[in-house]
Chain A
Amino acid sequence: MSPLWIVFRKELVDAIRDRRSLLSMLLFPLVGPLMVAAALTFTAQELDQNRDVELPVVGRSHAPALMAFLRDHRIELVDPPEDHLEAVRKGDAPMVLIVHDDYSERFRDARANTVELVVDRSRTAGAGDRARVKGLLRAYGERLALLRMVARGVDPQLAEPLKVQSVDVSTPAKRAAIFLNLLPMFVLIASFIGGMYLATDATAGERERGSLEPLLLAPVSRAAIVTGKWLASFVFSAATVLLTLGLTLVALTMVPLEDIGLYVDIGLGDVVGILVAVVPLSLCATAGQILVALFARSFKEAQTYLSLTIFLPTLPGAIFGIKPLEAQPWMYPIPVLGQQALLTSTIRGEPTPIYGFVLAALGASILALVLVAAAARMLRSERIVMGR
């Protein structure tokens, strides 16, 4: 039983008995998956074309052909509320269609007609339904124009001199990646959050409690003490990553992804790939946290510094979000950036080079070792041990 193992085991036992460090490990993995699942479920409902949409109509009897067209396209026509403007304003009805009294007369004479669709654009709920009804009304108008031109012997092509047809080359998996871009961010944050409390408690907390000096009196090398504490934090960090990833994948199976036309294929190979990419980052994040917490004058100061570092893993995600970058080889060895690049391409279903994983693991591990060595060195400083 080496001193490193003794310290490692004690820190784990100590942390497992501490509700705060357990909470910081267990709570975060629940947040990420819930958010992804909620966002995707919401989108699925919005885009669901097969659902019946209720449409309150004023003056339904004036336009029997239009009503039949809407009904054919799964619009359920209902009676309008008493004060339809107020109902829309208050959000009781998502929209109201108004057909004027002179509609049938103008229709018969083939004159231009106007229908009103009352909406409240400040409300995002029901935006998908409104877009669908508007689209149907426009389609009905175009069809009417076509029929009238044909009736007069005019070539309908004249009405549409330029036709725009967009060709979408993104694969369904790529479209899904837009939503799933959140997943790498959550997993990266997990690696920073998971071991943070333990790293602080085992260093700044140890000194604040007055147990650091007695500990350093034991005939054990400072490197062994720091390494034991670091590896215990790492276990918490890696466990948090594992939980976050696992729960997100479970959450994804519960979301009706097919309804959005999304196709997420994260197989066992991808999960292993994500873990291989992120676990070295856990080594690096916890090593940095140990160093920063040792440097801080108090537990509180350490927590302040460390809560700022949580922004670190969100940076590449934010940058990728604003200006999408393709993964470049130089990114791989840079901790956080490399992991982000690997995770994004893995989730998008793109081929990821093996050397990318190797470079990312090497970059993060080397930095971790440098940070741990710096922490061990710091522990030899009289100033740091005595708490300045």
Chain B
Amino acid sequence: MIEVTALRKTFGSVVAVEEVTFRAPDGRITGILGPNGAGKTTTLRVLSGMLQPDRGEARIDEVDVVADPNAGRARLGLLPDARGLYPRLTARENIRYYGELYGLRGKTLDRRIEELIEMLELGHVADRAATGFSQGERMKVAIARALVHDPPNVILDEPTNGLDVMSIRSLRGFLARLREDGRCVLFSSHVMQEVSALCDSIVIVAKGRVVASGSEDELKAQTGAETMEDVFVALATGEAP
């Protein structure tokens, strides 16, 4: 479970996150929806312990990530905005490196790598150097290395960026599988269709604040809008639909 309470983060005079509060429960997919620059990535970076918030709390399974970032990271798999691979290492080696850094060894690590390769359908490129990978293949390896330690909480920052339709479909299937396992899945996007197709509940962020949250139907009822796009425009800009 991921919980963020009254989070605030500034860079110099720029306020990236004004005040963000939300809760993403286990066994559900929660989407953070917002236009570019709304503060989504900054919020996720605070959750991963990469950034120190000015104020507020961020907890992963009751662990305060500001006080103990490594304990938080052990329970969290994060696919960040930056998803570069080592081009001279094979897909398998890229995943293995992270597995070792997360403390996995021997048979456990071997088994986990095989599991991820099978789950993400990476078999045909597993032993090829990453240098020639397609966007979709690169994304899958980046997800595999983020989940190598089998974390109960998964955060993906704009995972569909630059992917083709087939890759997005396969990613959707994968996220649904994570939900079935009872994991807490949180992902950010600026594309409404994706969020409505996949998420159990949606948190809409604009200008560093949470402007609304709930299921798709709840949001529609709340704003009186017909489509998710109208909901989004109404909430993000404050205009009536």
Residue ranges of A at the interface with B (Cβ–Cβ < 8 Å):
1, 3, 6-7, 10, 13-14, 17-18, 206, 209-220, 382, 385
- With contacts A217-B80, A382-B50 taken as known, whether A14 is within 8 angstroms of B100 at the C-beta atoms is no
15 more contacts with CB within 8 A, not counting A6-B100, A14-B88, are A10-B89, A14-B86, A211-B86, A213-B50, A214-B80, A214-B82, A214-B84, A214-B142, A214-B145, A215-B101, A217-B48, A217-B73, A218-B73, A220-B101, A382-B50
Cα–Cα distance between A352 and B102 once the two chains are bound (Å): 49
Q: How far is the CB of A296 from chain B (nearest CB, A)?
A: 17
Chain A neighbourhood of B71, CB < 8 A: 219
- With contacts A14-B86, A209-B87 taken as known, whether A217 is within 8 angstroms of B78 at the C-beta atoms is yes
Chain A neighbourhood of B82, CB < 8 A: 210-214
B89 to A13, Cβ gap below 8 A? Answer: yes
Cα–Cα distance between A215 and B103 once the two chains are bound (Å): 14
Within 8 A of A (CB), among B48-80: 48-52, 70-71, 73-74, 78, 80
- Between A and B, how many residue pairs show CB distances below 8 Å? 69
- With contacts A3-B101, A211-B82 taken as known, whether A216 is within 8 angstroms of B50 at the C-beta atoms is yes
Among B81, B85, B100, point to the contact of A1 (Cβ < 8 A): B100
A218 to B84, Cβ gap below 8 A? Answer: no
- Judge if B146 is at the interface, Cβ distance under 8 Å: yes
Q: In the complex, how many residues of chain B place their beta carbon closer than 8 angstroms to a beta carbon of chain A?
A: 32
- Judge if B22 is at the interface, Cβ distance under 8 Å: no
Cα–Cα distance between A217 and B52 once the two chains are bound (Å): 14
Cα–Cα distance between A212 and B50 once the two chains are bound (Å): 11
A18 to B88, Cβ gap below 8 A? Answer: yes
Main secondary structure of the interface of A (DSSP, over half): helix
B101 to A209, Cβ gap below 8 A? Answer: no
The 8 lowest CB-CB distance pairs between A and B, nearest first, are: A210-B84, A209-B84, A210-B82, A211-B84, A218-B101, A219-B70, A213-B82, A17-B88
B101 to A6, Cβ gap below 8 A? Answer: yes
- Judge if B169 is at the interface, Cβ distance under 8 Å: no
**26 examples of A-B residue contacts, CB within 8 angstroms:** A1-B100, A1-B105, A6-B101, A7-B101, A10-B97, A13-B93, A17-B88, A17-B89, A206-B84, A209-B87, A210-B84, A213-B50, A214-B82, A215-B101, A216-B50, A217-B48, A217-B49, A217-B73, A217-B78, A217-B146, A218-B98, A219-B73, A219-B101, A382-B50, A382-B51, A385-B50
B50 to A211, Cβ gap below 8 A? Answer: no
Q: How far is the CB of A388 from chain B (nearest CB, A)?
A: 11
Q: How far is the CB of A23 from chain B (nearest CB, A)?
A: 14
- With contacts A6-B100, A10-B97 taken as known, whether A214 is within 8 angstroms of B146 at the C-beta atoms is yes
Please give me the residue from chain A that is nearest to B87 by CB atom.
A209
